Amino acid sequence: MAQGRRVTASMVLLGLGLALAIIVPAVVLSRRHTSCGPQAFSRAAVAADSKVCSDIGRAILQQQGSPVDATIAALVCTGVVNPQSMGLGGGVIFTIYNATTGAQWIGVPGELRGYAEAHRRHGRLPWAQLFRPTISLLRGDYRMPFILSQFLQSDFLRPSLYKTSLRQLFFNGTEPLRAQDPFPWPALAATLETVATEGAEAFYTGTLGKTLLEDIANQGSRLTLQDLASFQPEVVDALEMPLGDYTLYSPPPPAAGAILSLVLNVLKGFNFSSESVARSEGRVNLYHHLVETLKFAGGQRWRLWDPHSHLDIQNVSQDLLGETLAQQIRQQIDARGDHQLSHYSLAGTWSRQMGTSHVSVLGEDGSAVAATSTINMPFGAMLYSPRTGILLNNELLDLCWRRPLGSQVTPQPGEQARGGGASGGCWLQMRVQVTPTWPPVPGERPPSSMVPSILVNTARGSKLVIGGAGGELIISAVAQAIINKLWLDFDLRTAIAAPILHVNSKGHVEYEPTFSQEVQKGLQARGHNHTRNPFFLNVVQAVSQDGACVYAAADPRKGGEASGY
């Protein structure tokens, strides 16, 4: 493992959000214009989880905006099209590859301060211009998006949503809005207009923040204006790991870049290729090694504490990315999958967060952005500010779930466990009950499964800009997409659309419904336990550059469609 020269990072406590992350390796890759096939672009591309937001990002690039500009515009749009996944009340991690200025990774808490810092460093167009397309969308004849309507109709979420302040936004009487119903959201349109005109500080120190806090205080929140105003950036090293001919750049703890790196580092030692999966036995063998590696990686997830809040775990990333641990894991993988959980040191329960979205962008000059944004669980804390139109995250809930093997702490999920700081929520319970080895501390950033990543092969002039949504499924989904693309020679769309498997915190394998029955039977024959996940939704967005050609893929599972030129 190497920590990149000129690669820095910054993250602080996430009260209303996660962090911004920027990685910019100093390499310029040439771009020629040639025929690349019907699925390719020749200049630039954007992959968001909806066509309208990909198109908005593409339009910003065509207006000579930077990839950061395009990403911000696409994220603002996504907060409107998929508010169950992200929005101004959440947090974001950017991984930015700047093809000319050198390497750095900088984190700022909170969605809007994240946008503002990224724009200050790497933006090109005026700030307000990035918000206009989404404001126009809301001020026009805006209709209920299909994917959002599916979430509203689900038996899993509908009863809870109806009991909260979100009912006034998403319901018509007792029934949730359906796809293509008129969906007025004037409060959010006005908020975006204020932010476009006055800047992000209108949210953190201005009237927007005060109004929001008044709204959510009536619903039990203890968040203060000082909490909003006190967020400041902090610089730390980013993660960099060689992966064959590529270099993988990913965010450090408490984000999950180190876990993704560990999975890929272990598996690269087995030298899998397209020939490995040419026959049935080979396919079963590859997925067996993947499942076992995911089990061992799951045994390390509890170590994703905030290193700035827990000084005794400062070297976690170095350990996780080191060859010593990877080799130890390889040596413990045999032909069986029926070992006890203690064999893997599995970490016990972790959060099944699902409220996440990802955008990947590649610009004409070779600069790239991978950005993942979240409000943690679907619809976050289910806490809504009606005067600002903002949904609040429940990111602190992740401090409740994660604990090392053997801890006697048992989270109590349910209505109050959606957290957000409400009295009696899981955060307050766990603050007392959590194992005393690493108790939560003021200012601590919660762990995250987000892994916006950029892989660069300078010799071949290749990049892969990738990330995903789906909570704990993110690492499994992104790792398999990378394996499919780089090692098994899948085209990008197939690499992302291919069915995946996942290993949950009990060591059981969960399969996407369309996953190969042949491989499932082969894994069961090797002793792997399996279980059904009724809410299996992984979403990956990626853009790749292969020489002169640019390819982009938005995951069809969420109805995404990429855009480029």
Residue among 355, 361, 322 nearest 467 (CA): 361
Residue 449 labeled ligand binder: yes
For 5, phi then psi, to 5°, come to: -65, 140
- Alpha-carbon gap, residue 441 to 134, rounded angstroms: 38
Burial of 110 (0-12, 13-18, 19+ CB in 10 A): buried
User: Of these residues, 8, 356, 372, 388, which one is catalytic?
Assistant: 356
Residue 398 labeled ligand binder: yes
- Alpha-carbon gap, residue 94 to 116, rounded angstroms: 12
Query: Hey, which bits of 202-302 come out as E strands?
Result: 236-237, 239-243, 246-250
| 544 three-class SS | strand
| 352 three-class SS | coil
In this structure, the number of other CB atoms found within 10 A of the CB of residue 457 comes to 19
Residue among 317, 156, 150 nearest 250 (CA): 317
Residue among 113, 91, 106, 114 nearest 10 (CA): 106
The first and second tokens of residue 53, run together, are 């937001």
Residue 89 labeled ligand binder: no
Residue 154 labeled ligand binder: no
Residue 471 labeled ligand binder: yes
Residue 376 labeled ligand binder: yes
Q: DSSP states of 189-221 as a string?
A: HHHHHHHHHH-THHHHTSHHHHHHHHHHHTTT-
- Residue 372 among the catalytic residues: no
Report, as residue numbers or ranges, the catalytic residues: 356
| Residues making up the binding site | 374-376, 398, 448-449, 471
| Residues making up the binding site for L-glutamate | 374-376, 398, 448-449, 471
